[in-house]
Structure 1
Amino acid sequence: MRHRLVTRGAVALCILVAVALIGYGLAQAMTTSHQQTVQGTSENSPHSGDGTKANPRRTRLEVGLDGCTKGWDDPGAGAQVFDIKNTSDRPMDVVLLGTGDKAADPHHDPRKAQIYAELEALGPGVTRSMTTSIEAGHFHFSCMPEDGPVVDGTDTNVPQPSAELASSLPSPVQHAAPATEQELIPYTQQYEEWVKGQLPDIASQADQLKDVIQRRGPNWREEAQSIWLTAHHRYMTLGGAYGAFGDLGDSIDGTAAGLPQGPNDPDFTGFHRIERGLWANESPDDLLPLAQGLSNDLSSLQDQDLAVGALEIGLRTHEVSEDIATQTLSGVDDFGSHSGVDSARAQTEATQKLVEILRPLLADRMPADHLTAIDQRLDAAQKRLDDASAAHPQTAPADLPVPERNAVRSQIGQLSEQLAEVAAVTDIRRAT
């Protein structure tokens, strides 16, 4: 398990792909310097277009701290392009919500609203286009300024189109209810409990590793290597908990990256330092203190409170697969065991566990065929890795036969792309 975040650019790119799958109107985040004054609230130009795919309705809107797209005049169903200008002095997210019965129910539950499109980090003074397709019903925009309260626009009734026009309009985008932190907390707690339940067995395996090294039997190295492979595989199945272990996580499974002396640095410890020694014929005297340290760290980890965070559990479901592609299959964390394919198998198991735990929430927010496709892709990736591991045991991913290597990378790449949708639909939006 890696204790580092995937680059923001890679995550943003994959989430954009996922958002396209479910029809969100996400755009790249933009940053600009703050202006000195807050401008006016709203100004519309007449719309153009009839809502067909070839001729979308185009509307110019303004958003600010004192109004979120007031006066969306003459709305209509079908394809939409909203040219939205941020007139405030700070970046803000802008979301188009289908609000159902909001106009008739003053106690409307925002969790029942559906996201039809979104712009992230719309900079001060910047105009960007939000593209979507909507049906008849009640809609409103919601603006979430940086360091400020949420500003909701007025409820707008989109009327039914004429029968003649309706037959020419595109279907509305796939839409999802925004996730809330309160909704995600039970799933996060369930995952944290599952992780804590795995730690005693992993700690026991680390104790066995230490004992084998300490006994120095005739086949101690082969025995220790076998135990190491089993223990490390189990630890890698905790992939969604990266970062939740704090400094202990780096001590247990950190690499030599960033250390002044690289793999020779005295702060290089844990699984990978022991891996280096076991496969480089280091002596039991050199390895025993390292094995004792790993055993102690895993014992301490069992007493530590975990904090995965409701804000991150969906994102981590996606990032584990990215870590497989960028770290595990690249070999940057191979210190001699050439067990990258097996580690990728464990990380895929970690992803399956996260999807399993999040399934009730995902089923409420994703089209059924999308969730089925994720399950099928997980199964296909796991089978491909299982086959590669069985046919080429302890072979570094880079040393697999070219067709096998390309097939593995292709499966993981497609899996990562599909899992980005999980990150998108579990992204928490502020309600206040």
Structure 2
Amino acid sequence: MSTRARLTALFGVLAAVVAVVIVLALAARPAAVSAAPSSEIAVAAGLDDCGDGWGDGGRAAGGTAAFDVDNTTVGGVEVYLQAVDTQKVYLDLESIGAGAHAHARVTLGSGRYRFVCLPADADPVRGPTVAVGPAPRGSALTPGIVPVTRADLIPAAQAYGAWVASRLPALRRQAAAVAADAEEGDLAAARRDWLTAHSTYETLGAAYGAFGEVGDAIDGLPGHGLTGFHAVEAPLYTAAPASAVVGPAQKLVADIDRLIAAFPSAQIDPGDMGLRAHEIVEDALRDVLAGAADAGSGTELATIDANLSGARQALAPLHDILASRYPDLAATQQSITTTQTLVEGFRGADGTWTRLSALTTAQREHVDAALSETAELLAPVAAICAPRRNP
């Protein structure tokens, strides 16, 4: 599977957490300098006037407020609206250019809040504290989260990297077994061992960014030229002789050896940790379930099963970070389990998997819906764990 690094659009059907994600992750885009509409509160975001303009005598009404935040500095600035007592952030307006404005709405309840301005190359500037009154009855308050910093994520990245390193020797043994089977002419054993090795590799999805070009050599998508596992898969699952499998299998082992040699000096970016679990399932939906990752074996469902295990492994080191920040963490973990149970229902007692093409329309829609729900629940993890500066 090719290296990918992208944060997808968040799904709108989540309740409380999505409100946080939309506000925090989708930062307001700078607009041309203009006067704030009468319905907006003009707020300064500078080094000497951060937060000026909000709060009459240090007090403001609760409920929904619309802000026009004006960067009065000569450089870019990020702006938080933060609860003083809990440190939770309710707005995160990213990359407001010099002299530009950002527009945002937030619904606040009783508490003490302040704007915090974070210039790119200077310490945070904290604005005056504003006491906000109770929101009108029935208001849907914007949830806040405590920012996650890169320092918070480093232990998670290190723990995950250690787990990946522990799996690489097993991956090498499994791939070597495929080559040995092919050399002996035992294609049935080679197919079994290929599936075991490929499934192991597909559990390592959160490390693909650290694998670099050798990752593409090991598991590039078939549509981009057959390499690695798929170069073995194509002859192995056709009428090709065993001799046609030997060369690609030996090349696969050599590439895995390159990965083992290079991985100790590779680095899993702590900033990617929250993104990867969601990305693994998204890739399973977009590539694997669509049939784009198959080179003849028809084992797409086995790959999806391994991807779900990989998503669980990627999520595990983030548990302590997410436990106090993501109310749907338990539901997300359960969704992974439920979806994996569904997918594993298509594996026979002899270990063979139903081909994706053999699923009925209803079965395929069921798998698609389950994967989509899991991806949907994982999307906020990416936004919540996006590294932010500590205000």
TM-score by length of 2: 0.87
How far did residue 251 of structure 1 move?
1.2
How far did residue 167 of structure 1 move?
6.1
Question: 1:291-370 to 2 correspondence within 5 Å?
Answer: 291-304=249-262, 305=264, 306-367=266-327, 370=328
Q: Distance in 2 between matches of 1:169 and 1:156?
A: 25
- The 3-state SS of whatever aligns with 2:275 is helix
How far did residue 30 of structure 1 move?
7.0
* RMSD (CA atoms): 3.0
Q: Distance in 2 between matches of 1:275 and 1:221?
A: 11
Q: Distance in 2 between matches of 1:141 and 1:293?
A: 57
Q: Distance in 1 between matches of 2:139 and 2:28?
A: 30
Question: 1:32-431 to 2 correspondence within 5 Å?
Answer: 58-64=40-46, 67-74=49-56, 75-87=60-72, 92-100=77-85, 113-122=87-96, 126-145=100-119, 147-149=120-122, 151-161=124-134, 168=137, 170=139, 172-216=141-185, 220-258=186-224, 263=225, 268-304=226-262, 305=264, 306-367=266-327, 370-390=328-348, 393-431=352-390
C-alpha change, 1:429 and 1:28, in structure 2 (3 Å) is: closer
Residue matched to 1:3: 2
How far did residue 171 of structure 1 move?
5.5
Moved more, 323-332 or 371-380: 371-380
Gaps spanning 5+ residues in structure 1: where?
49-57, 101-111
C-alpha change, 1:141 and 1:181, in structure 2 (3 Å) is: same
Percent identical across equivalent pairs?
30
Q: In the TM superposition, what whole-angstrom CA distance separates every residue of 1:255-275 from its partner, at most 9, and x where no partner exists?
A: 2444xxxx4xxxx42101111
C-alpha change, 1:221 and 1:270, in structure 2 (3 Å) is: same
Q: Distance in 2 between matches of 1:195 and 1:79?
A: 46
Moved more, 229-238 or 125-134: 125-134
Q: Distance in 1 between matches of 2:222 and 2:77?
A: 39
C-alpha change, 1:172 and 1:229, in structure 2 (3 Å) is: same
C-alpha change, 1:12 and 1:128, in structure 2 (3 Å) is: farther
How far did residue 194 of structure 1 move?
0.7
Q: In the TM superposition, what whole-angstrom CA distance separates every residue of 1:89-127 from its partner, at most 9, and x where no partner exists?
A: 655433211121xxxxxxxxxxx6111122344455554
Q: Distance in 2 between matches of 1:143 and 1:15?
A: 29
Q: In the TM superposition, what whole-angstrom CA distance separates every residue of 1:205-249 from its partner, at most 9, and x where no partner exists?
A: 111111111112xxx112111110111011111111112112211
C-alpha change, 1:124 and 1:167, in structure 2 (3 Å) is: closer
Q: In the TM superposition, what whole-angstrom CA distance separates every residue of 1:27-48 from its partner, at most 9, and x where no partner exists?
A: 7467779x9xxx99xx9898x6
Q: Distance in 2 between matches of 1:87 and 1:175?
A: 26
How far did residue 329 of structure 1 move?
0.6
- The 3-state SS of whatever aligns with 1:191 is helix
Q: Distance in 1 between matches of 2:30 and 2:357?
A: 42
C-alpha change, 1:12 and 1:221, in structure 2 (3 Å) is: closer
Q: Distance in 1 between matches of 2:184 and 2:237?
A: 18
How far did residue 170 of structure 1 move?
2.5
Q: Distance in 2 between matches of 1:28 and 1:363?
A: 22
Q: In the TM superposition, what whole-angstrom CA distance separates every residue of 1:387-428 from its partner, at most 9, and x where no partner exists?
A: 134499544435410001001001111111110111111111
C-alpha change, 1:332 and 1:133, in structure 2 (3 Å) is: same
Preserved CA contact (<8 Å) 1:32 1:124: no
Q: What number of residue pairs does the alignment pair up? A: 383
